[in-house]
Structure 1
Amino acid sequence: MASAILTLLFLSLWPFLLILAAENVTMSSSLTAGENLSWISPSEEFAFGFHQLGNSTNFFLLAIWYAKIPDETTVWHANTEYSVQRGSKVELIDDNIILNDPNGQTIWKALVEPNTSVSYGAMLNTGNFVLSAGTDSSYVWESFNNLTDTILPTQILSSGGMLFSRLTKNNYSKGRFELHFSNESLQLYPVAWPTEIPYDSYFTTMFNANSSKSGYQLGFSESASLYIERGNEEIVQILWQPSSPNSYYYRATLDFDGVFRKYAYPRSSIRAQSWSVVQYIPENICMALTHTQQGSGACGFNSYCQAESGTPRCLCPIGYSLMDPNNEYGGCKPNFTLGCGVDDESMDPEGLYKMERIPSLDWKNGDYASLGPYNQTQCEESCLHDCLCDVAIFHYTTCWKKKLPLSNGRLQNGNGALAFIKISKSVPPPRKPGSNTKRQKQILFGPLVVSKNSMKQHCGFNDELGRGSFGIVYKGALNFGSRNLVAVKKLDRLSQEGEREFRAEVEAIGKTHHKNLVELLGYCHEGPHRLLVYEFMSNGSLADFLFRSPRPDWNQRTWVALGIARGLVYLHEECNATIIHCDIKPQNILLDNHFTPRISDFGLAKSLMFDQTRTDTGIRGTRGYVAPEWFKRVPVTVKLDVYSFGVMLLEIICCRKSVEMVSGYEGKEILIDWVFDCYMEGNLEALMVENDDVGMCDIATLQRWVMIAIWCLEEDPSKRPTMKTVTQNLEGCVEVPIPLNTLSVKSYV
């Protein structure tokens, strides 16, 4: 208890300690939009000034942002109705900080009490910009008390405080969601945009507040724990503390999609990375918003929502398209006319419309009739012949008829619902629900589908890149499209197994789009010819990268490992249908010109249906990477890839192949055995690449990564972590459990 009180005392004094080190911004100082100047914190980690919006050179945001990371993420912005034009000026003047447009008209100023004296401003190391009276180091205004969508470590939300989301990812005006904090609860609300009137809460955490107490606070500790302080008595964590708080920047943001997320970003990295989501609430935003009776839901009217690792993916029903092609969350509209009296009344509805079925799809609201007991056919025909009915939902023996606009749509596997969607017969045939329409069109129907004649004309199949079990990969060039160099995989024998591999690869990768997966540009399926056309990866395979001389350094290797892990998270949890790659190894990881890893070769991949967690497959993997369950001929799960990743992670750590003779360790030709022995003996230095000074200075990360790899290599698949957990472990955001029987191992952490 004493340590907790000291921590709270330190946090309360923290801003005043920092002001002593801050480089003060004197009165009459100013910044002009477009001049690329800002007021920097002493640590140079935060900047206050005009932040350019996107690629525009004419529009800016008066904001605070992370100054040391490439994407310069904003954490606060002045609440202006519109973006700021080039030439606008912010100035410390008249005991305030005032923002004027290029014509000198005031468009924003800090809410400082009248007759208050301001001595200077300061950008603190916490990310807080303050105006100080100067005499007693008190603040007369601070950005921490004028919240937008983000809260930072050391920041406090007092009872009555709130955050509000942006409207879209790139539109910083107030959006459709709010976070409210009071003595009794933390609540998330959708609002009746463009007003700020809240609808019913879609997430609530109650604190059982004692009405006789006061001073309830929502805090974000310096160690990155989000907590509630109950009346200066008890501290209750909401989003817990990570394992390596000092190695990362942290922020908690109410995002434009209504999810409150805690993010982490590595402080030291030689390469551009991205923010990782550490925790989030609610668990499933699509389902949470169905509890509200009003509003459009997560995705806008007439759309439906599918949650992928806490992020809503918004889709339009068959026959519908986005209201705004640039806003996935803005709702959908029918591509044809619906309603009574819109067509020749003498014409039978069956001649005008058809009913498309989508299983597991439902809209929470919009019922105008509930019929039953009905069967599926009765429900479908009832909606088809009712000019008021646009959609019908059949569940068990009940038929709910709905009319536009529809709200709170969601795709929930296994919910037993069946949606009948009325569309015009003039609408083109539908594609599979949930598929990426743009990507399917490009691969299957667009100009990049390559025939054998065009490939003979432009490639010639002369420059060989590599060979596989069913064909050869060539370097090629195309005279159309935005990319000239390509890699062409040519199946050289059309066996039944080769045909199956070809179809598996097209089907699996055709559903995907992720920066850590290789992109399929087109294919040829003509007569005996089977060609797969990929983007060209200029830096070869991970095998070439790891086992070359000289070896790549530690930072390069960690960058690659994290990218592969994120690609596997996408395949397992975030794409339309779960995909098990089944052949993860260094030869199937390619590196682009920035050394970003791309998972490739989906010939053995298995796609799972929505209600599947496992599938049957033959033993077709690669020696050294095959998980034990393959030899038992039992149905496999995504944990198959987790095992293979564990092997490959050890190869990345050691720059040694999974099966080879290891100098000085007679008989230790299996890398897994050698690493485990080194780990048990506390001899982790033996695993490091020779002369890798960067790696030797990061021995704590080495130990953590070895522990992760050992965990991935558990013989029982159910005991292995998911790839999402692996990624969080690699990033240091989540503690790694100690492998069994290793409690006596020397600790470097």
Structure 2
Amino acid sequence: MARNVPVEYLYPPYNLTYFHFIDTNGVFLLSRNSTFSAAVFNPGAAADDQQSRFFFSVLHAASRTPVWTATAGSTILQSIVLSLSSRGLALSDPGAAADDAAAAAWSTPPLRSPVTALRLLDSGELLLLDAANATLWSSFDRPTDTILPGQALLAGVPLTAVTSDNDLNPGSYRLLVTAGDALLQWASSSSAANSSSFVTYWALSTDANSVQDSTAAVHSMTANSSGIYLLAANGHDTVFRLRFPSTTTDAAVLLKVDPSGRLRALAMASPPRATLPTVWAAPYDGCDLPLPCRSLGLCTPGTNGSSCSCPDAFSTYSSTGGCSPADGSTLTPSASDSCTSPTSTSGLNYMSLGVGIGYFANKFASPDTSGEPLAACRDGCSGNCSCVGFFYRNSSMSCFLVRNQIGSLFRGGGDNSGAVGFVKTFPASRHQGKGASSSSLSLITIVFGIALPTVAAVLIGFLVYAIWIKRKVGSSSDKKKRKKQHGQGSSGGINRSWFKLPMLSSSQQPSSYVSEEENESADDDEVLIPGLPARLTYIELSEATEGFKTQIGSGGFGCVYKGELRGEAVAVKRMNNLGTSRQGRREFLTEMAVIGNAHHVNLVKLRGFCADRQLLVYEYMNRGSLDQCLFRPNNQCLDWAERMGVCAGAARGLAYLHAGCARKILHCDVKPENILLDDRGGVKIADFGLAKLLSPEQSGLFTTMRGTRGYLAPEWLTNAPISDKADVYSFGMVLLEIVRGRKNCKRDNHQQLQSSSSSSSDGNDGYYFPALALEMHEQGRYEALVDQRLDGKADMAEVERVVRVALCCLHEDAALRPPMTTVSAMLDGTMEAALPRTELLGYLRLYGHGLVDVRSAGKPGKGSEFTSAGGGATSSWSPTSCVSAQQLSGPR
């Protein structure tokens, strides 16, 4: 018969070893509702591994998942005893000598008063209590690899992964919260005490789903079923928040750094002894981990997971040993943290990893030196006893030293297209007493690693110049052949360097496309635009769209066509107006670089572009735009949950544009037509790259009005500075249209006369909806604002939240509108929705009653100054009229 296990409390004195309570799986204490258990735990037993590794752990009872473990070499052997005494908890060997490490393998720190009880809460927190039930020690203050619901991870306290699923001793990976971020790091050295040995490979602030709400210092990190939050010192204000995917379960979620180095969110609702399901993980790409392929393995991402190989000069990849030099030379052993003298240069050599090979750590590391030649980078590594290799970027002349231990590699991407890497090697004979005397790069390395690529670059440059000359004087057949070759070469991926930018001749009109012959004979100009996405040819895109056959949308900038490019559905936007000047084309390419580097789950991805015809290639969203789902009667009506998803997703996308990019991006045309949906619940902002770009500290004046009538902020008409708050105003208008399911504007007089003699299904059809929203908000009648097609199936608390947020966005004074990060937090429920200042929204009421002459909007001297008798508000502008039947953006 099973032994009775104490519940919630255990009292000293108490002693046990791992072979006690075999009939209870090592469990010696349960929480009140049996959610968690304290146990002497053998993690290998779950895999039928009868190894003698036992640990003192707190387990999630249903899944037997350890959420806290006594660490610091605390493996429990047969002679080790876990004891609870008035001095605390301890793991020790009573038979060992006093000076033996096993005599006190682990213990709680000295306590201020004697222990009277050990308590295990249903939150998973293990406590030592005194006679007054005051907490003397808590496992939450000493986390190991897991954060539980309600637990805060303080800045500076690491969360360290275990070595493996069967060995719960501390491993090489950790999560560390700093004053400005949360970082995943790898200990490249065996000494965890050396903080400089930790290499960062993921940061929460750079994750596509993260949003920054403030610039306050981060004090702690928490998580719940909706996401991860970095909090300020008051424990309430968020500095960063990262939302989990919308498919995440409502069950409680714990965060765990797993043995591979990934940070995982695991749902705790699970059948007994089942593995907890992962609802989110970072980094997403396995090749971003330090050792997905062991040392020097070359990681290649794929649809079914990553694959591993070796660089060209290294032997075949082995899953147990990584890669080694194919010429028989040996790699430098992992350096010791205590090394104080330079590595002996006797026989020292460097083996090239090849061009375009990237290293995970360089994404977050600052270069050791910049602006110096490759030889100086090599010498810096040679003179550093802990350096095992280096990476050098030719474009920026940046040098990155790899210390202690080198991890896995990956090919291409980002700034690595022009990078070279080298690792220290020694001839095989060196360890047999036959060392060489050279301290520089070997002749083979110089020829194949440096000289050959340099000569190749010169030859390629000469070839490009020859082709340019030939284009000007060659035959038309040669031109077509060259175009075909260029199309094949450009489809390979990302262009990050020099390329030809064809210019239009002065005789060509902006409204017409350039013919192939004209384009070939036009003057070319070389420009350097780093960070460009894939450059495609007109022929490729014409074939992908079957001659621009299927039009799926149109706007003031041009038409959008559906196509298929390399097996993937895409949307190709054909611009109406071509820039004729060199500066205009340069600005176009610069904006393409900015768009291509803006990555967020709620932004439409730019797949490529064609500079010659200003064609943009985006990912395809198969459900179309929001206006098609909201306003077209033949389409299926969006239910309320879907509408809330659109509100939150679009807000996150705009918040990223305003606060998450290296350069602030103003959309300038936020409207339902530019919010795209797919059948998997995806919500993405489109056309954001065609907006005005500003640096974070800038605001600016636009020389021409941008955007769509009906969504324009007041400052567009008053020549006031335009900031990101103009997007906030437009988004407020969109929120109201999502609630109502129709356009905000009044119908024209002809429509109103036709409907005046009949009963309408919507009594508010002829009213300016923002004014009605303001009135219903003041009366608390939010149900009157909801789309009648929903048949009352809407959460009124959420309706109130959306309306309040929308009205806050519509404040006439831009300074009173909340930033998009705050709008996003209010919509997803992580922040309480603010109350709008109704006394400053009187202009909406006046416009709703038709008291504004929209024809004089924004024109000085036309009497556009007015005062609201009802609301007491004074306005210096007149809202623009409703969107016309041709709902298009104006020129930018």
Distance 2:776 2:672 in 1: 23
**Paired residue for 1:54?**
none
Deviations 1:195-224 (A, max 9, x none): 43789xxxxxxxxxxxxxxxxxx99999x9
Alignment partner, residue 163 of structure 1: 157
**8 A Cα contact 2:531 2:597, kept in partner:** no
1:516 equivalent in alignment to 2:602: yes
What is the Cα deviation at residue 708 of structure 1? 1.1
Residue of structure 2 equivalent to 1:727:
824
What's the CA shift for 1:723?
0.7
Q: 1:255 and 1:704 mapped to 2: Cα distance?
A: 36
Q: 1:581 to 1:734 in 2, by over 3 A?
A: same
> Over residues 83-115 of structure 1, what are the superposed CA-to-partner deviations in whole Å (9 max), with x where a residue is unaligned?
x9xxx99xx99789999xxxxxx9x998589xx
Instruction: Report the alpha carbon displacement of residue 487 of structure 1 after superposing the two structures with TM.
Output: 0.9
CA contact (8 A) 1:27 1:93 kept: no
What residue number does 2:564 align with? 477
Amino acid of the structure 1 residue aligned with 2:596? G
> In the alignment, is the contact (CA less than 8 A) between 2:665 and 2:688 conserved in 1?
no
CA 1:585 to 1:35, structure 2 compared with 1: closer, same or farther past 3 Å?
farther
TM superposition shift of 1:724:
1.0
**Cα deviation, residue 631, structure 1:** 1.1
- Equivalent positions of 1:634-649 (< 5 A) are 634-649=720-735
User: 8 Å contact 1:449–1:521 — kept in the other structure?
Assistant: no
Equivalent residue number for residue 689 of structure 1: 787
SS in 2 for 1:677: helix
Q: Following the alignment from structure 1 to structure 2, what is the Cα–Cα distance between the partners of residues 321 and 515?
A: 27
- What is the match of residue 664 of structure 2? 578
Shift of 1:703: 1.5
2-structure distance, mates of 1:667, 1:655: 11
Match of 2:624 in 1: 540
Distance apart, 1:192 and its partner CA: 12
- Report how far residue 31 of structure 1 moved: 6.0
Q: Is the 8 A contact 1:323 1:331 kept in 2?
A: no
Alignment match, 1:671: 769
What is the number of equivalent residue pairs in this alignment? 492
Partner of 1:531: 615
Give the match for residue 126 of structure 1.
Answer: 123
In 1: Cα distance, 2:697 partner to 2:237 partner: 34
Q: Among 304, 308, 328, which residue is 2:363 paired with? A: 328
| 8 A Cα contact 1:517 1:600, kept in partner | yes
Superposed CA deviations along residues 531-575 of structure 1, whole A, max 9, x for unmatched, are: 111111122112223335442222222222111111111111121
1:123-522 aligned within 5 A: 125-128=122-125, 143-148=139-144, 163-165=157-159, 173=172, 175=174, 194-196=191-193, 238-240=234-236, 324-325=359-360, 328-332=363-367, 336-338=374-376, 441=496, 448-460=534-546, 461-479=548-566, 483-492=567-576, 494=578, 506-522=592-608
CA separation of 1:154 and 1:33: change in aligned 2, threshold 3 A = same
User: 1:511-660 alignment to 2 at 5 Å?
Assistant: 511-526=597-612, 529-547=613-631, 549-602=635-688, 604-659=690-745
From the superposition, tell whether residues 598 and 26 of structure 1 become closer, same or farther in structure 2 (CA, over 3 Å): closer
SS where residue 515 of structure 1 aligns? coil
1:603–1:597: structure 2 CA closer, same or farther, 3 Å change rule? same
User: Higher mean Cα deviation, 516-525 or 489-498?
Assistant: 489-498
SS where residue 512 of structure 1 aligns?
coil
Q: Which amino acid aligns with 1:705?
A: V
Aligned mates of 1:579, 1:559 — CA distance in 2: 23
The answer to whether the 8 A contact 2:72-2:106 is kept is no
Letter in 2 for 1:683: R
Asked if the contact 1:505/1:601 (under 8 Å) is kept, the reply is no
Amino acid at match of 1:715: E
SS of aligned partner of 1:649: helix
Whole-Å separation in 2 of the counterparts to 1:617 and 1:249:
52
TM-score normalised by L of structure 2 = 0.44
Seen in structure 2, the aligned counterparts of structure 1 residues 573 and 736 have a Cα distance that, compared at 3 Å, is: same
Once residues 323 and 332 of structure 1 are traced to their aligned partners in structure 2, the CA distance between those partners, rounded to angstroms, is 14
Match of 1:717 among 804, 814, 836: 814
Q: What SS class does the counterpart of residue 126 from structure 1 fall into?
A: coil
**How big is the shift at 1:720?**
0.7
Query: Over residues 251-304 of structure 1, what are the superposed CA-to-partner deviations in whole Å (9 max), with x where a residue is unaligned?
Result: 999999xxxxxx9x9x9xxxx9989xxxxxxxxxxxxxxxxxxxxxxxxxxxxx
For residues 503-555 of structure 1, what are the alpha-carbon distances to aligned partners after superposition, in whole Å with 9 as ceiling and x for unaligned? Answer: 686354134111111111111122xx231111111221122233354422222
Cα distance 1:325–1:440, how it changes in 2: closer, same or farther (>3 A)?
Answer: farther
Counterpart CA distance in 2 for 1:165 and 1:195 is 13
Could you tell me how far apart the structure 1 residues matched to 2:783 and 2:648 are? 22
The C-alpha deviation readout for 1:412-461, integer Å capped at 9, x for no partner, is: xxxxxxxxxxxx999999xxxxxxxx976399898942212222333221
Structure 2 CA distance for aligned equivalents of residues 570 and 647 of structure 1: 19
Letter in 2 for 1:576: A
What is the deviation of 1:128? 3.0
Instruction: Report the secondary structure of 2:812's partner residue.
Output: coil
- Which SS does the other structure have where 1:337 is aligned? helix
The structure whose residues are more often strand, as a share, is: 1
- Whether 1:22 and 2:34 are equivalent positions in the alignment is yes
Structure 1 residues 328, 487: closer, same or farther in 2, change over 3 A? same
Q: Secondary structure of the equivalent of 1:488? A: strand
Per the TM alignment, residue 142 of structure 1 is displaced from its structure 2 partner at its CA by 6.5
* Alpha-carbon displacement from aligned partner over 1:310-344 (angstroms, at most 9, x marks no partner): xxxxxxxxxx99983256334545682217999xx
Displacement, 1:645? 0.9
Superposition deviation, residue 619 in structure 1: 1.2
Taking only the aligned residue pairs, the percentage that are identical comes to 31
Please give the per-residue CA displacement for 1:125-147, whole angstroms capped at 9, x wherever unaligned. 42436899xxx999999743532
User: 2:598, 2:822 → 1: CA distance?
Assistant: 21
State the shift of 1:725 in Å: 1.2
**How far apart are 1:626 and its partner, in Å?**
0.8
Q: What SS does structure 1 have at the residue aligned with 2:375? A: coil
Deviation at 1:655, TM superposition (A): 2.2
Check 1:93–1:645 CA distance in 2 against 1; reply closer, same or farther (3 A cut): farther
**TM-score when normalising by structure 1:** 0.52
Tell me if the contact between 1:33 and 1:50 (Cα under 8 Å) persists in the aligned partners: no
RMSD: 6.3
Give me the whole-angstrom Cα distance separating, in 2, the residues matched to 1:462 and 1:157.
56
Residues 38-49 of structure 1: pairs in structure 2 closer than 5 A: 47=60
Q: 5+ residue gaps in structure 2?
A: 1-29, 49-58, 92-101, 110-114, 165-169, 180-186, 197-219, 239-248, 259-264, 270-277, 282-354, 381-392, 399-452, 459-492, 498-528, 748-759, 841-892
Between the aligned partners of 1:693 and 1:173, the Cα distance in structure 2 is 56
Q: Could you tell me how far apart the structure 2 residues matched to 1:29 and 1:150 are?
A: 16
1:310 is matched with: none
Is residue 789 of structure 2 the alignment partner of residue 703 of structure 1? no
Partner of 2:553, secondary structure, is strand
Change (3 A) 1:447 1:612: closer
Between Structure 1 and Structure 2, whose CA radius of gyration is higher?
2
Contact 1:178–1:254, Cα closer than 8 Å, also in 2: no
User: Which residue identity lines up with residue 711 of structure 1 in the other structure?
Assistant: C
Deviations 1:165-189 (A, max 9, x none): 5599x99746595889xxxxxxxxx
Unaligned runs of 5+ in 1: 1-17, 37-45, 52-61, 65-75, 100-105, 181-190, 200-217, 229-235, 257-262, 276-319, 343-352, 359-423, 430-437, 744-749
**Displacement, 1:684?**
0.4
Aligned pair in 2 of structure 1 residues 738, 450: CA closer, same or farther (>3 Å)?
same
How much has 1:686 moved relative to structure 2? 1.5
Residue type of the alignment partner of 1:21: N
